[in-house]
Amino acid sequence: MKEKIDFYGYPIDLSYGKGQKNIYLRIHPSRGKISLSLDQKLGKKGALAFLEDKKDWLFQRISPHQVLEDPDYIEGERNFLWGRAYPLKLVQGDKNRVDLRGDDLVMTLKGDLDREGREALLLEFYRSQVKARVPDRLTYWSKKLGLYPKEWRVKKMASRWGTCNPRDRRIWISLYLAQRPVQALDYVLVHELVHFLEDHHNGAFYAYLDRFFPEWREVEESLNQPLARMP
Ligand SMILES: [Zn+2]
């Protein structure tokens, strides 16, 4: 069961589970959307009490200047590519596609496409952008670290930037990284490669990061912030 509530002006997606032991509060890094999942017995009242308790933590991570509503993918709306905001330009054509032309992110549409369709189209563009960038960056970091994945994939992951399976030497990368500066992609690749050496986020893990990617703290901090969609 799902519900949307307003918490001090921030929209929060609530979802209820059956017999769920833990409460999960997430800020989805792609857009700064906030979601909370908890046991249905706790209800909306329990959700609000939990949020009130975690208010300081939450408000430190979001800023009122950041628009947390979903984008509409309409003419002129700013959408992100590799750390830059581009106005969206909608044109008619014979095939649905997105490309960057000069300073515009051009969405070509064959007929009408609803919001979900336009979102899917942009996400596929993001996927192709990340796919195109990864080989170069991964080769660079693999050589530098002496760590080589057997397989990598670009996935639609809204709440994580990357995941890996060290045993299978497999790395998955979020397509939403296309919205961030390329440095963020570099960081995620290094982070996941370092997991080949160390499973956990412990002292040894961070020592590797300090050595291989000294600016990791700032990049991680920026990845925890939603993108600012200025008016
Ligand atoms: Zn990790």
The 10 Å Cβ neighbour count of residue 64 is 10
Please state, in angstroms and rounded to a whole number, the distance separating the CA atoms of residues 185 and 162: 9
Distance in Å, CA 152 to ligand 1 centroid:
16
pLDDT at 30: 54
pLDDT bucket at 56, cuts 50 / 70 / 90: confident
Res. 66: pLDDT tops 60: no
Give how far the C-alpha of residue 15 lies from the chain's centroid of Cα atoms, to the nearest Å: 20
pLDDT tens-digit series, residues 163-176: 999 999 999 999 99
Q: Which of 34-48, 53-67, 122-136 shows the lowest mean pLDDT across its residues? A: 53-67
| Residues, the chain | 231
Task: Give the ranges where 15-54 is alpha helix by DSSP (H).
Answer: 43-53
Show the DSSP H helices in 68-114 as ranges: none
Give kind and range of the element (H or E) at residue 90.
strand 84-92
| 74 CA → ligand 1 middle, Å | 35
Ligand 1 geometric centre to CA of 203 (Å) = 13
Question: In whole angstroms, what is the distance from residue 144 CA to residue 102 CA?
Answer: 34
Q: What pLDDT is stored for residue 67 in this prediction?
A: 45
User: How far is the first Cα of the chain from the last one, in angstroms, to the nearest whole number?
Assistant: 33
**What pLDDT band is residue 222 in, cutting at 50, 70 and 90?**
confident
Beta carbons of 101 and 107 less than 8 angstroms apart: no
Compute the mean pLDDT over every residue in the chain, rounded to the nearest whole number.
89
> Rounded distance, CA 27 to CA 54, Å?
13
- So what's the pLDDT on residue 9? 72
**Which residue ranges form the domains of the chain, and what is each CATH number?**
2-61 (no CATH), 78-223 (3.30.2010.10)
Query: What whole-number percentage of the chain has pLDDT above 70?
Result: 92
Rounded to whole angstroms, the Cα distance separating 166 from 208 reads 16
Cα 25 from Cα 33, distance rounded (Å): 11
Spell out a b/e string for 135-149, using b for 16 or more CB atoms within 10 Å of the CB, else e.
eebbeebeeebebeb
pLDDT tens digits, 173-218: 999 999 999 999 999 999 999 999 999 999 999 999 999 999 999 9
Q: How far is the CA of 173 from the centre of ligand 1 (A)?
A: 12
The alpha carbon of 49 and the centre of ligand 1 are apart by a number of angstroms equal to 30
Is the CB of residue 45 less than 8 Å from the CB of residue 23?
A: no
How far apart (Å, rounded) are the C-alpha atoms in residues 33 and 11?
8
Residue 212: is it exposed, middle or buried by C-beta count within 10 angstroms (0-12/13-18/19+)? middle
Distance 9 CA to ligand 1 centre (A): 32
Counting Cβ atoms within 10 Å, is residue 183 exposed (0-12), middle (13-18) or buried (19+)? middle
74, 88 Cβ separation under 8 angstroms: yes
Distance CA 190, CA 209 (A): 8
**pLDDT at 231 exceeding the cut of 60:** no
